[in-house]
Structure 1
Amino acid sequence: MEQEATYRGTVYPWQCDHVGHMNIMWYVGKFDEANWNWFARLGLTPSYLRSSGRGMAAVQQNITYKRELLAGDIVEIRSHLLEVRDKSIRFRHEMTNAETGEMAAFCEITAVHMDRRQRKSAAFADAIREIALRYLVEPAEV
């Protein structure tokens, strides 16, 4: 299933390091912004998280850098759900240069659904699982 972008933005000069490309801290930040748009698509909206006392916590994140991004480049991230478990999800963000279509980086994250008060993992509600399962992709698609 082709996904709409979960993030679109620009690389600003102040996000670049001493060699002239976007510093790794900004890749992490842009992937994080994509997380929240992605979660909302899965039903994990800010209002759901607040009213239910739930939260999401990343427990593993791996980033692979493929091509540099320079000041002025337009960045787009698309996200794909790889796995849904009772209390966790695993997904992949793909960051591309929106002008050239070249992949700049990808990030795979495992995140746990948690009860914020008890500070421990919690099962996804059935409604959230049903939405998430619609976004699940086959391994060959990513």
Structure 2
Amino acid sequence: MIDEIDSFIGVAQLWMCDEFGHMNRRFYAAMFDDATLVVLRFLDVDDRQDSLGWADVRTETDFRAEVTAGTILKIRSSVTKIGRSSVTIRHVMTNSSNGETAAVESCVSVRFNLQRRESSELGAAIVTRAELLFAA
């Protein structure tokens, strides 16, 4: 069991900061989105099926500490829930310099049939991979 994976590393750039000197939430969203894509790629190693994809249907972010320009950020991700057609992913963003948690996000992603425009069962292979990242 792996429990969690490194899903993102990056730097808060000056242009990402607002007039108060903090990284704007739109950039947190982008970093968490990149982390989600890494997790989904880990889960869905055989994603060559043109008719299937993923749709994020819910996100919730808790901002815990300031992020300023130059901060090196790392996101580690795990799966907290496995449903019939969805997974809930937990992302923890930390400041690499001091280990402080900057933000935590929960994201529900649904396996989606792109032709029928409806949810699709995860399938055994995805469930098996999700269980590797399961953290209760």
Question: Normalized against structure 1, the TM-score is what?
Answer: 0.90
Instruction: Specify the code of the residue in structure 1 equivalent to 2:26.
Output: M
Is there any run of 5+ residues in structure 1 with no aligned partner, and where? Answer: none
Question: 1:85 aligns to what?
Answer: 83
Cα deviation, 1:120-141, whole Å, max 9, x if unaligned, reads 0000121111111122112xxx
Relative to 1, partners in 2 of residues 1:19 and 1:73: Cα closer, same or farther, differing over 3 Å?
Answer: same
Question: 1:104 aligns to what?
Answer: 102
Mapped partners of 1:110, 1:134: distance in 2: 17
After TM superposition, the structure 1 = structure 2 runs for residues 37-52 of structure 1, keeping only pairs within 5 Å, are 37-42=38-43, 44-45=44-45, 48=47, 50-52=48-50
Is there any run of 5+ residues in structure 2 with no aligned partner, and where? Answer: none
Mapped partners of 1:63, 1:4: distance in 2: 19
Mapped partners of 1:70, 1:63: distance in 2: 18
Mapped partners of 2:110, 2:61: distance in 1: 18
Ranked by relative contact order (alpha carbons within 8 Å, sequence separation 6 or more), the top structure is 2
Structure 1 segments of 4 or more deviating over 3 A?
none
Shift of 1:2: 5.1
Over the matched positions of the two proteins, sequence identity in percent amounts to 30
Q: Root-mean-square deviation (CA), in Å?
A: 1.3
Mapped partners of 1:2, 1:82: distance in 2: 10
Question: 2:56 aligns to what?
Answer: 58
Relative to 1, partners in 2 of residues 1:126 and 1:2: Cα closer, same or farther, differing over 3 Å?
Answer: closer
- Count of matched residue pairs: 135
Mapped partners of 2:13, 2:50: distance in 1: 37
Question: 1:76 aligns to what?
Answer: 74
Mapped partners of 1:52, 1:58: distance in 2: 18
